[in-house]
Each structure stands twice: as C-alpha cells, then as structure tokens.
Amino acid sequence: MWGSALLLATLLAVAYGSGELSILQTPSSLSFSGQEQLDLSSVKNVFASTLGFSVPETPRWSGLVVKDPFHFADAVAIVAVPGVASLESVQGRTYPLATDEPMEDTWTALTWRMEDRYPLLASNLTLSHLSADSRGDAETIFGTLEKKEAPQVEYLKPSVAVDQSFIEQVTLLDAITSKLAEKDLVDDGVPDLYWFSVPGLHALVDTYGAHSKQVEEAKRLLSSSVLLLSEVMSTSYNDKVVFGLLSSDVMHTRRFRRQANETAQPGKTTKVNADQGDPNYPVMFNIFLWFGIAFFMTLLATSLGIAYMDPGRDSIIYRMTSNRMKKDN
C-alpha cells in the first residue's frame, strides 16, 4: 500500500510540479487570468497569439484573452530558467507547466513563425537569443555593456566555480537591463523577440540541492534581476511588451520518472520511447479513412445497381450475354 501511495505521489509530482510560466508584463489589449495548467509545447502558441499570429488548432487554453484584436504586443521577451520548477518569489500571473518538450523548442518555433510572417524583412527582425553566461554574445546583440558590480551574497561563494558562474550570469543580465534603459528602441511596425537563458541555476541545484540556502539565495537574486529587466522593457516598449518567465525542471523530472519506474517494477527494464508522433499523422489518417469509406460505398452502390438491373434487350447485360449479337434493321 505504501508503495502504491509513493508511486501516486511520484506521478503527481511529475505531472504537476515540473515547470511554471509567469507573465510579468502585458499590454492593455491582452489579459492573462486564471490558473489553468499549460503544456510547455503550447507556450509557443500562447506567445505567438500575443503577437497576433495565427496558431494551429489546439485544445483551448482559457488563460489568455484578447480584448482588442487590433492592437497586439510590439515585443515578446522570455527569460528561460532550466533546472528549477519555479523561482517562487517572482511577482506576476503564474501557471503550472507540464514539460512535454525541451524549452528551446519554444524559441525555435517562435523564430520560424516570425520569419514566415515577415519573409521580406528577415534581415531586419530583432530575434535575440542570449545565454546569460556569454558576455561576448551579449555585446554582439546589444552593443558595449558597462561593467556592473557583482551582487552581495551571503551563502554563494565566488571562489566556487558554479557559484561564480551564476553570479556572472546575474551580473550580465543587470548590464543588459542598464543598456536597454539607455537605448532608444525604434518602432518599425515589426514585433521583436527576445530570449534570455540563465542556465547557472541548474548547476547550483545539482551541486547543493533544490532546497539549499545557496539555491534559495540564487533564486532571490535572479528574481530581482528579472523583475527589473521586465520593468525596463515595459517602459522601452510603452507598455506594449509581453514579458514571461519560463522555468522547467524537465531534466530532473525525467530522472525522477525513471527512478519511479525502476521502483515500481524492480528487476524489469523499461524502454521509454521519447520520440514524438508525426504531426502529419492525423491528416494522413483522415485522408485514408474517408477515401476508403467513399471507395467502399461507391463500389457497393455500383454492385447493387448492376444486381438489380433489368436485363432487357436494351441492356448491356443482354447484349453481352446473348449467343448472337442482335442487329437492328
């Protein structure tokens, strides 16, 4: 009985505790409400909808309401934090995530839709993908960044490599915030897309544990930097930016799921197929299904028509079955 209870708790943790989407800034033409769970694979559709893009038909998610269909967001900015389920101290509307695909797939899908929507302006699109552990890449995107002082820490130690890496990422994020505050953004009528990845927190969780003092302090530092960045971007885009924080514990969740399967079935090796189904499968299935039904009904109608046909002298059946072809005089 205790084993069943442990398995149930494990499955609940896998399904509901693996990620979170927080919306920190949104235009007045859009509204986020409720607390309905969202699949990570659907996040790209949510952000694409805030830009006014058409999205594939999916199960309706009630969290986003478009109040003004003639005014959408001028920019979407996403801070991606892999390795943790939630930052906890971030202020904003939050939604639980079921992590059913890698976080980077969200960025890939959004950039593809931007380039597909504006094929003639591909060279002018602002598609900024930044991992916050590379200052050189940041300066390539945003220009020269001023040197910021490292934040004051109590439990994190700059002498430790993983601690120092995370501190540098937060410092770089603050430098980007300062640069955006000084930079005048040009409204060219084409939406902008920003993706900031902060991978350092994942290493801290692996080193110290999810509930350690070091990780809790790191979450507070990152939350403060993210909130400041969201406010600066909202000001720069005249309150017409959708700013989201995406956290996903997909790596730890997969490891937890694998351990749960081994506990539930000791001595038995379980093969997990991680491949996703072909997205064209429903289309092809319906084509073959309805063609097969139509072909069968046509064949049935033809057979019944021939079976009940009157074999008179004017009938093709009479002419083909007669011993001697009749000739009209």
Indicate if 87 and 212 belong to the same structural domain.
yes
Residue 269 or residue 21, greater confidence: 21
Please give the average per-residue pLDDT across 323-329, as a whole number.
Answer: 52
- Tokens 């059913």 belong to 100
Structure tokens at 95: 């939604």
* Any domain includes 106: yes
Cα 296 → chain centroid: 42
The per-residue pLDDT for range 267-289, each reduced to its tens digit, is 443 333 434 456 677 888 889 99
**pLDDT, position 307:** 80
> In 10 A of CB 315, how many CB atoms?
12
**pLDDT, position 265:** 46
**pLDDT, position 127:** 76
Lowest mean pLDDT: which of 38-47, 52-61, 136-145?
52-61
The CA distance from 252 to 248, in Å, is 9
Indicate if 50 and 136 belong to the same structural domain.
yes
145: helix, strand or coil: coil
Indicate if 234 and 308 belong to the same structural domain.
no
Instruction: Check whether 225 has a pLDDT greater than 90.
Output: yes
Instruction: Check whether 263 has a pLDDT greater than 50.
Output: no
Indicate if 74 and 193 belong to the same structural domain.
yes
Lowest mean pLDDT: which of 84-93, 97-106, 174-183?
84-93
- The amino acid sitting at 129 is H
First to last CA, the chain: 95
**pLDDT, position 132:** 66
312: helix, strand or coil: coil
* Any domain includes 44: yes
The CA distance from 85 to 9, in Å, is 16
* Any domain includes 274: no
Phi-psi region of 127 (alpha: psi -120 to 50; beta: other; left: phi over 0): beta
Q: What is the DSSP string of 61-121?
A: -TTEEES-TT---SEEEEEEEET-S--SS--SEEEEEE--S-THHHHHHHHHHHHHH-GGG
Indicate if 106 and 168 belong to the same structural domain.
yes
* Any domain includes 224: yes
Nearest to 73 by CA among 41, 110, 48, 39: 48
* Any domain includes 113: yes
Indicate if 167 and 42 belong to the same structural domain.
yes
The CA distance from 82 to 20, in Å, is 11
**pLDDT, position 315:** 62
Indicate if 80 and 220 belong to the same structural domain.
yes
Indicate if 118 and 185 belong to the same structural domain.
yes
Instruction: Check whether 222 has a pLDDT greater than 90.
Output: yes
* Any domain includes 94: yes
- Rounded to the nearest 5 degrees, what angle is found at the Cα of 26, between the Cα atoms of 126 and 68? 100
The per-residue pLDDT for range 180-195, each reduced to its tens digit, is 998 877 677 888 999 9
* Any domain includes 7: no
Helical spans, DSSP H, in the chain: 2-16, 43-50, 104-117, 135-142, 161-182, 200-208, 213-236, 250-264, 281-307, 316-321
Instruction: Check whether 257 has a pLDDT greater than 60.
Output: no
131: helix, strand or coil: strand
Please give the average per-residue pLDDT across 308-316, as a whole number.
Answer: 65
Query: Which residue, of 207, 230, 248, is where some domain finishes?
Result: 248
Indicate if 215 and 300 belong to the same structural domain.
no
* Any domain includes 12: no
Query: Which residue, of 204, 226, 248, is where some domain finishes?
Result: 248
The CA distance from 228 to 236, in Å, is 12
- Tokens 């939604």 belong to 95
The CA distance from 189 to 316, in Å, is 70
Most confident of 112-121, 240-249, 253-262, 319-328: 240-249
Residue 299 structural domain: 281-321
Residues in CB range of 96: below 8 A, 6 or more apart: 16, 17, 19, 20, 35, 37, 38
Indicate if 56 and 164 belong to the same structural domain.
yes
Indicate if 211 and 293 belong to the same structural domain.
no
Please give the average per-residue pLDDT across 130-151, as a whole number.
Answer: 82
**pLDDT, position 291:** 94
The total of structural domains in the chain comes to 2
**pLDDT, position 220:** 94
Mean pLDDT of the chain: 81
Indicate if 238 and 316 belong to the same structural domain.
no
